[in-house]
Amino acid sequence: MQKDANYYIHHLGLEPHPEGGYYKSTYNSDQSIDAFGTTRKLYTSIYFLIGAGDVSHFHRLKSDEIWYFHGGSSLLVHVIDEEGNYFEHKLGLDIENGETPQVLVPKNAIFGSSVSENGIFSLVGCMVAPGFDFEDFELFTQSELLEKHPQHEQIIRKMAYEKLPE
């Protein structure tokens, strides 16, 4: 039996994420470190699922984030780096066609994700080091990003909120 997105949302206990998609915290390091003027876990990890037609909206973290492909369709990870360059990474297992099972999003990059063309859903894992905290999470509107990166208008209009959710 083919498992759909709802199967994983239900069986893994995933909940809606503010950036889009669904997530569940899975691991938090027992160790902590001083980072960003406060204490953070050494690392944190989540499951993250996004469906076709949905996007993980452009956001930024103060930490590096490594994405791991688990199943479903391949995922496109859209990144605008600190220098303003745009990259699209293909997260998946079709290595011969440019996919890779892991993708690093460097700290301070603006990024989001979407399911590959004709895909149904993607289930991935994300590990953040130093560990994720919502204090370090920044969502963007289209107007904020277009002011700084007008050369990337097409992807910004696709991947950023027109207005931030309440």
**Alpha-carbon torsion 144, 147, 153, 155, what sign?**
negative
Amino acid at site 48: F
pLDDT tens profile 66-97: 999 999 999 999 999 999 999 999 999 999 99
Kindly report the pTM of this predicted structure.
0.94
CATH homologous superfamily, domain 5-159: Jelly Rolls (2.60.120.10)
pLDDT tens profile 40-60: 999 999 999 999 989 999 999
CA distance 166 to 164: 6
Domain limits, the chain: 5-159
pLDDT tens profile 131-145: 999 999 999 999 999
CA distance 141 to 12: 30
